[in-house]
Amino acid sequence: MIYTVTFNPSLDYIVSVEDFKLGLTNRTSSELILPGGKGINVSTVLGNLGIENTALGFAAGFTGDEIVRRMEEMGVKSDFIWLENGMSRINLKLKSIDGTEINGCGPKIDQEAVNSLMDKLDVVGQGDTLILAGSIPNSMPDDIYRRIMGRLDGRGVMIVVDATQDLLLNVLEYHPFLIKPNNHELGEIFNVELKTREEVVPYGKKLQEMGAVNVLVSMAGEGAVLIAGDGNVYATPAPKGTLKNGVGAGDSMVAGFVAGWMKEQDYKYAFYMGVSAGSASAFSELLATKEEIKAVYQQLISN
């Protein structure tokens, strides 16, 4: 079984505003509400690819109810821990100004709730896959990813981590199967600016030396690079297409890679599936469908 964990899920309110002006009343030209959070996005795309999985995480309040309702509507199985106080966050994402968003804080997660999550994770074992994705609320211990991986160490679980800075660096000693920084996040770790596919390779290899098995680096319009566990480096420019919605593209890449690896146990195939899924989501208003991913994959392998 594949499990994803989203510590701070959200309702993503994605809007377009033509000719946005500060200090004035602006009206939307399009609106979309989706369940959000990196783990939820991974679960959604895995489901679109026909791969059964369970989304774990925390939810609270009327927004938590709506997140779970919309996930069920999309066919995503969840087993969230309900919090008595607060409410799951709402994230405002402004499509018409690329990369502009206002993200909520989310509810306070106490030690009892953390313990409940750990109890759920105790069922994870040999042959299972666990995907830890995204930021954590301020109320949680900042080494929570490391605690989870330490608890599962030696159980034969394939673990994927999509996080930044210390959340990522603290888990490398447990040899995650896959980590997926983007080029900016990778550069921040080593205090350098990385713009080309060639430039990211030596720094990806450093993360490998620190413990990661595979390092997948997403680079938006520049494409992607995989520093693979078999010693090879795979790279590709970005597939051709029109950017419609970048939200969830990186999460889709993780889902595509995991799906590809599960099917073929081949790094090159998994890499191309990851790039295809990430790009297909970027070219779509919603997270990519199986047919959309297949179309981009055919483009990649024909070039």
pLDDT at 149: 95
- List residues with catalytic annotation: 251
What is the rounded distance in angstroms from the CA atom of residue 42 to the CA atom of residue 40?
A: 5
- DSSP assignment string, 206-246: HHHHTT-SEEEEE-GGG-EEEE-TTS-EEEEPPPP------
Looking at residue 24, what DSSP letter applies? S
- Give the chain's domains with CATH numbers: 1-19+28-162 (3.40.1190.20), 177-303 (3.40.1190.20)
- pLDDT tens figures, 114-131: 999 999 999 999 999 999
At residue 291 the predicted structure's pLDDT band, cuts being 50, 70 and 90, is very high
Give the separation between CA 219 and CA 290, rounded to whole angstroms: 22
Q: Quick one: pLDDT band at residue 95, thresholds 50, 70, 90?
A: confident
Q: Is 75 helix (H, G, I), strand (E, B) or coil?
A: coil
Residue type, 208: Q
Examine the pLDDT at 98 and tell me if it is beyond 80. no
Beta strands in the chain (DSSP E): 2-6, 10-16, 30-36, 53-60, 78-83, 89-94, 100-102, 129-133, 158-162, 178-179, 214-218, 224-227, 233-236
Q: Does an H or E element contain 294, and which?
A: helix 290-302
pLDDT at 244: 84
Mean pLDDT, residues 242-251 taken together: 87
Q: How do beta strands 129-133 and 30-36 pair?
A: unpaired
Q: Taking residues 171-178, what's their average pLDDT?
A: 96
How confident is the model over 268-297, as a mean pLDDT?
96
Q: What is the pLDDT of residues 190-246, one digit of tens each?
A: 999 999 999 999 999 999 999 999 999 999 888 999 999 999 999 999 999 998 888
